[in-house]
């Protein structure tokens, strides 16, 4: 029997209890109208596992860290909720304009940018700290637990490290940026541990080490072997960098063995890829909302997704493109 995913009258496991279960392909669906629902896919059939009573305002963006959901609003607020207890915990007015993106740097620090400004929030001190920059409005934000990278327009980056942001300007326009997840040194870096990579509009990938407030010259340059395609995004975990392109081809570059390989996604025009934090899995998202998870090949999510956030504990938070159409 089919059941609507967002059926608030149904009784499921508490979301906090379900988060501790080892289940295959677990998702948390984030619905502006109905809150959070966890579901899993088994034998190609999705089923509801748990449900939260948190009913958020209409969000513009969100992120999830260690049981805490944060989301931005069109009025410039950033709101925090404890998923385990099902209640709001903190509320900040960060900007006078709509919050465009937020990312947890650590459990204590959240980075954000709006249409006009960017900044950080120190959660233990309950402080909103603006970042003063001459680089103009940010257009993207990527974080690891070590540093955050703001993209400002086509050529400029703002590297947030040790509570400060330093500007960095490139000579070639930027397509995408990735930070290293599960950072480790690789033999090709001669013991160094680079921490972010930039995909340029030429298709070249430049790998950088940022330390002591300075981004050194690229420690490695990679050329895309698929010259007739347009590479749109990249991700980095350990000693593996991956890219995806408009044809739906995903390229893997392994630093440890000096090899590369490619695989094919079931959908084209990929605009974002991201590693699962606790395993070798990979999340893939296309411009038209198609979304999937891959260990060996990409398996599609049963509905279209407008955006997603990897939670770090084997879960992914997804926002359905049309939550009224999501029925199981």
Q: Are 209 and 195 in contact (CB under 8 A)?
A: yes
Long-range contacts of 81-85 (CB under 8 A, 24+ apart): 81/54, 81/56, 83/15, 83/16, 83/19, 83/36, 83/52, 83/54, 84/14, 84/15, 84/16, 84/19, 85/16
| Residue corresponding to tokens 């590369």 | 260
Say what the pTM is: 0.82
Q: Report the pLDDT value the prediction gives residue 22, as an integer from 0 to 100.
A: 46
Tens place of pLDDT per residue across the chain (328 aa): 333 333 333 344 444 444 444 444 566 666 655 566 666 666 666 666 666 656 556 788 888 887 788 889 999 999 998 876 767 889 999 999 999 999 999 999 999 999 999 999 999 999 999 998 888 899 999 998 888 999 998 999 999 987 788 899 999 999 999 998 766 655 556 666 778 999 999 889 999 888 766 776 888 888 876 666 789 999 998 888 999 999 999 998 887 777 888 888 888 999 999 887 766 678 899 999 888 877 667 777 777 888 888 876 666 777 777 654 444 4
* DSSP states along 216-240: -S-SEEEE-S-TTS-EEEEEEETTE
Angle of CA points 279, 281, 284, to nearest 5°: 150
Q: Report the pLDDT value the prediction gives residue 56, as an integer from 0 to 100.
A: 56
Residue 112 vs residues 90, 118, 148, 182, 290: alpha-carbon distances, Å: 15, 6, 10, 23, 26
Cα 184 to chain centroid, rounded:
20
Cα 147 to chain centroid, rounded:
14
Q: Report the pLDDT value the prediction gives residue 45, as an integer from 0 to 100.
A: 61
Determine whether 134 is exposed, middle or buried from the number of CB atoms within 10 Å of its CB (0-12, 13-18, 19+).
Answer: exposed
Q: Which of 323, 324, 319 is nearest to 27 (CA)?
A: 319
pLDDT tens, residue by residue, 47-74: 666 666 565 567 888 888 877 888 899 9
pLDDT tens, residue by residue, 13-23: 444 444 444 44
């Amino acid at each position: 029997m089919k059941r609507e995913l967002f059926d608030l009258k149904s009784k499921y496991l508490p979301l906090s209890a379900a988060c501790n279960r080892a289940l295959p392909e677990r998702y948390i669906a984030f619905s502006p109208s109905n809150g959070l629902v966890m579901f899993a896919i088994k034998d190609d059939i999705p089923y509801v596992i748990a449900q939260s009573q948190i009913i958020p305002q209409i969000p513009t963006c969100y992120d999830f860290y260690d049981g805490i959901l944060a989301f931005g609003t069109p009025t410039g607020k950033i709101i925090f909720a404890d998923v385990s207890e099902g209640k709001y915990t903190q509320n900040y007015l960060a900007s006078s304009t709509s919050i465009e993106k937020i990312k947890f740097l650590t459990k204590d620090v959240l980075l954000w940018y709006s249409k006009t400004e960017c900044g950080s929030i120190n959660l233990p001190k309950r402080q909103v700290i603006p970042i003063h920059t001459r680089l103009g409005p940010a257009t993207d934000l990527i974080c690891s637990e070590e540093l955050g990278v703001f993209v400002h327009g086509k050529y400029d980056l703002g590297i947030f490290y040790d509570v400060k942001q330093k500007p960095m300007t490139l000579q070639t326009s930027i397509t995408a940026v990735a930070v290293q997840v599960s950072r480790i040194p690789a033999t090709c870096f001669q013991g160094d541990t680079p921490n972010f990579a930039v995909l340029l509009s030429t298709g070249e990938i430049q790998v950088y080490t940022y330390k002591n407030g300075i981004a050194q010259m690229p420690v490695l340059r990679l050329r895309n072997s698929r010259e007739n395609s347009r590479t749109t995004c990249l991700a980095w975990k350990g000693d593996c960098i991956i890219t995806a392109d408009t044809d739906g081809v995903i390229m893997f570059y392994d630093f440890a063995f000096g090899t590369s390989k490619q695989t094919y996604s079931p959908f084209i025009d990929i605009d974002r890829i991201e590693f699962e934090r606790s395993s070798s899995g990979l999340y893939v998202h296309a411009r038209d909302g198609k979304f999937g998870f891959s260990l060996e090949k990409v398996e599609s999510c049963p509905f279209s997704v407008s955006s997603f956030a990897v939670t770090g504990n084997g879960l992914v938070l997804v926002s359905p493109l049309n939550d009224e159409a999501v029925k199981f």
